[in-house]
Chain A
C-alpha cells in the first residue's frame, strides 16, 4: 500500500490543509482525540488487509466492467427462466424516473421536504389498489416472500389464531422463508393439491379447517403456473370456519384475470418485480400487501401506509403516515413485526409502469402472455415423449414440462440448450421430485413466435 497522501474525491475534507484547520478549530491534536473511548485492546493495529484500490475513476470502471463482462445476459441468450423473477420489457420511462437523483438518493425525509416521495408512493399504492380493487395497499416491503409471511402473521393477529393452511404447490424457497418467519408460535399445515388440475383439494381443505385456523393461503397463478379455478369455493370454506383467505398474485396478470377480491380474498399479496423492474440477478423484487379498508385489518399492517390529507392551503394535497402508532418505529417491540428500509424505489417504479400501461396496456400484456405461453405449451407438447399438460388447469406465464417420456434428465437437456444460447426452464427435479424430470418454463410478452419456435426446434435437436 502506497504511503502517499491521497485526496479522495468523495471526501471533501480529506485535503490535508482543510483537515488540519478543522482539527485546530475543535482543539484536537489529531483524530485520535475522537476515539478516546475505544480501548487500545479493541483497536485495529496497522491497516486493514484489503485489495489495492483503483484510485482513478477510469481504473475502477475498467476493473468492474471487466468483472461484469464475465456474465452472459438474457439479451445475449434466449431466456425461459422464471420461478419468481421475470423477464418483461422495462419501459424506458421507468428507468428514467428511478435513476433521477431526487428519488434515487433520497431516504426518510418529512412529508414537506420529501413531498414527492410521499405522493409518488401514495400513487403507486393507489394504482395497485385499482388493479386489485382494494382500498389499502402498503408501501413496498422486501419481496413477495416477505409479503406472504407477513400476510400470514397479520391473519393470526386479526383472528387470534395460530395455525395457517398453505396450498401444497408452493416454491420451496418461499416455504422456507415462511417457516422461519412464523416460528416458533405459528403452526403450518399443507393442503393437498388435486394431482390432475394442480388446484387445491377442497375435501382436504375442509378436513384441515376443522381445526381452528387463521388463514387459508393459495397463489394464483401457482408457483407452477397453473390457475386456481375454485377460488370462491376455497374462500367460502375459509370464511365458514372463521379463517381469512389470503391470495398471492402475479400483478401483471390482472389486466385479464379477476382480482382475488372478486373471489373472496381478504388479503392479497405478491411481488411487483414484473411491473417495471429489471431482473438484476434477483435484485428487483419488492413485496405488496393489500386489503379492504377495515380498521381491524389496517391496524395489523407492520408496513408504512401513506395517506392523503388537506393542508392549510385550500386545494393543496398533503400526505403522511397513517396510524403510525402501529409500527415498530413508534412502539419498538410493541409494534407490529417491524418496519424499515425495504424497496421503496421499486414501488415508485411500479407506479410509473402502471401509469404508462393503463387499463388497455394491462389487458393487452395479460392476453399476450396467455397467447404466447399457450402457444409454447402446445408446441412443446407436440415433441415426442414430452408433456406440457401435467396439470389440466389453465396456466399463466409458466407451465411444467415433463421429460420422463424421453428418458432424459432436465439438467442434461438444459446444458445442451445452453450450448445453443438458450436458458431452458428451471429444473424442478430436486424441488418437486414427484414431478419426475420436469422443468418450469416461463414465456412472457418479450418472446416472439420465432423465439418459441427456436426453443422447440432446439429441444427436438437435443432430444434426437
Chain B
C-alpha cells in the first residue's frame, strides 16, 4: 500500500483540511410532517377528574377560547430529531473547531464533566421557591462561588442574578444611580464615561439607565486617552464603565490614574471584566481602584455559550455599595445557607429568582478543577497563545496590529487588513467568510470600525500550539488567495452549508420575513 500519510504533508507541513461543512439542504420545519402525526403524547386526564370537573372550558368566554388551532408542524418524533440533528451539524460549536476566531468571546473549552453535573436532577428539578432546607446544596455552591469571585476581584459582595454580561453592566449602572440618589446627587450626575474599545453595551446600558454617554477615543498609542478623560470629568460625572485590557488586547497601564480622576470628581468606577481571561491571578479590580466589576461566566469561567445564552454576568461591588445589590443575596449563618433580602437600598430585582444556577454550578466546578495555580496557568497560557499566534499572523503579508507598535498584547489582538484591502480590494469580512470554508470562525469587530478592516482573534488557553499553527496557516492561505484569486474569496463560502445570502430583504420592510408566516404572506404562498 502507498504511504497515504505522506500525502497529507507538503514540505513537512500538514496540508490544510479539505473541510466541507454539513449541507443537508434542510427544509424549514413547516415543510416537514403530515397532518395527524404526533411528536409526543401528553398525559391523559383521568376519568375521575373529568367526571367531576365536567367542561374544562366552562366560564371561559367565547372570545378567550382558541378557535383555530395553531399552524404548528405535525411531525413524528424521529423526524423532529433528525431535523434538529441536521441543523446542529450545520452549526460550528467550540467542540468542533479551533475557535480562536471569535475574538472578545473567549471561546474556550467547556469541560463535559461540568455539563453532566449540571444535568443531575438535583440541579435540573429544583423549584426556586422550595424551602431553603431543601436547596442547601445549590445555595452552598452559589455562596462558595461568591467567595471565589471575591478573591479573584478583591471586591466584597457579588450578585449572580444578571443573566449575561450586558445586563451586568446595566446592573452596575443602576447601582451607581442608586448610590448617587442616596447622596442626593442623582440629578446633577447625569453623565457616564466609557471608551470606544469597551463593549458597545457599556455605552448602551448606561443610556438605558438614563445617562448621557461620553465616549473616549484612544491616544495615538492606542491607550485610552488620559487627557481626554481629564477634559470629560466634571461635577456631572456619575461614573466610568471601562474594559481593560480593551478589545485591542492592550492593557491600560494608567488605569489606576483613571479611577483616581473619576473618584476625585465624585464618580464611581465599574470594571467591565466580561473577558478577564488574561488577568486571572495577575491583577484585580480592587487594586486598580474599581468600585464595581462584572465577570461573564460564559467567557472567562468556561461555561458553554449556548448559541448566545443562558449565561451569567456575575456582578461585584465594594462593601460600601453592597446595600444597593439586587435581592436576594446568598448568605451563611454558620449553620445554613439562606437567601438574604436585607440590602435596604437594593435596586430590586434584575432577574426572576436568583440567576442561572446551572451556569454558576459549571463555573464553580471549573474553578474547583483548577485552583489558584490553575487559574494563573489559564491566564499565562491564554496570553502566551495570543502572543504566539500574533507572531504567526503578523508574518502574513497584508495584516498589521495597529497601535502600541512592537508591544505585546494580553489575551487578544485586533488586527487590521487595511494593507491587504488596499492591494486587493478584498474586505476583512470576505476573508472571514472564506475562512469558514476551512471550518473555523473569524470575527471582525464591533461597530464602528475604528480599526479599519478589522479582525479580532482570541486564542484562549484551550488550543494547542499545532492548532494555533493550523489557524494561522488558514489565514495565510486565505490572504494569499485574496492576492492570487480575489474573486474566489469574494464569492465564498464554497464549502459551507449555504452560499452567498442576499442581504437586501433584511433591511426592506416590504421584504423582510422574520417568521415563516410572514415569508408565506410576502411571497404570496397559500397555506
Contacts and interface: CB of A to CB of B under 8 A. Distances in A.
12 contacts: A38-B251, A48-B152, A53-B374, A113-B496, A185-B210, A307-B512, A310-B505, A311-B501, A322-B506, A372-B49, A394-B59, A423-B134
A168 to B, nearest CB: 18
Interface stretch (B92-100, B228-236, B314-322, B477-485): B92-100
Interface stretch (A136-144, A159-167, A209-217, A237-245): A136-144
Given A60-B365, A75-B125, A370-B57, 18 more contacts: A50-B151, A61-B116, A79-B127, A89-B42, A104-B306, A107-B107, A133-B70, A229-B61, A257-B65, A278-B125, A281-B138, A312-B499, A312-B502, A318-B498, A355-B29, A356-B77, A361-B39, A448-B43
Interface stretch (A18-26, A188-196, A200-208, A401-409): A18-26
Contact of B310 (A99, A112, A286, A311): A286
A102 B88 contact: yes
A323 B506 contact: yes
A305 B509 CA distance: 13
Given A357-B39, A357-B72, A313 B499 contact: yes
A104 B92 CA distance: 10
B383 A35 contact: yes
B405 interface: no
Given A47-B281, A102-B89, A109-B441, A355 B75 contact: yes
B283 A42 contact: yes
Contact of B521 (A75, A135, A144, A344): A135
A254 interface: yes
Contacts of A399: none
Nearest to B410: A34
Interface in A36-67: 36-39, 41-44, 47-55, 57, 60-61, 63-65, 67
B503 interface: yes
Nearest to A31: B380
B181 to A, nearest CB: 9
A183 B177 contact: yes
A228 to B, nearest CB: 8
Contact of B377 (A11, A130, A394): A11
Contacts of B102: 107-109
Given A254-B70, A363-B69, A307 B506 contact: yes
B423 interface: no
Given A1-B371, A113-B436, A281 B203 contact: no
Contacts of B123: 68, 71, 280-281
A359 B368 contact: no
B304 A104 contact: yes
A73 B377 contact: no
A315 B28 CA distance: 12
Interface in B69-95: 69-75, 77, 80-81, 83-95
B342 interface: no
A174 B351 CA distance: 8
Given A8-B377, A281-B354, A359-B74, A256 B65 contact: yes
A307 B307 contact: no
Interface string A343-379: 1111010011011111111111111101110110010
A101 B388 contact: no
A462 interface: no
Contacts of B374: 6, 8, 11, 53
B128 A85 contact: yes
A445 B385 CA distance: 52
B500 interface: yes
A337 B208 contact: yes
Contacts of B304: 104-105
B185 interface: no
Interface in B361-391: 361, 364-365, 367-378, 380-381, 383-388, 391
B381 A361 contact: no
Interface residues of B, number: 216
Interface string B127-153: 111110111111011001000100110
Which of A19, A21, A184, A333 counts the most chain B CB atoms within 10 A?
Answer: A333
A81 interface: yes
Contacts of B251: 35, 37-38
Nearest to B129: A81
B387 A34 contact: yes
A131 B70 contact: yes
B284 interface: yes
Contacts of A23: 384
Contact of A121 (B215, B307, B433): B307
A360 B41 CA distance: 9
Contacts of B380: 31
A23 B391 CA distance: 11
B115 A99 contact: yes
A212 B431 CA distance: 52
Contacts of A358: 33, 37-39, 72-75
A67 B464 contact: no
B122 A84 contact: no
B203 A333 contact: yes
Contacts of A8: 370, 374, 377
B91 A89 contact: no
B381 A11 contact: yes
Interface string B105-129: 1011111010111011111111111
A345 B309 contact: yes
Contact of A103 (B59, B307, B409): B307
A351 B307 CA distance: 14
B159 interface: no
A38 B208 contact: no
A355 B39 contact: yes
Interface stretch (B4-12, B165-173, B262-270, B414-422): B165-173
A258 B64 contact: yes
A282 B374 CA distance: 31
B461 to A, nearest CB: 5
Contacts of A454: none
B256 A39 contact: yes
Contacts of A270: none
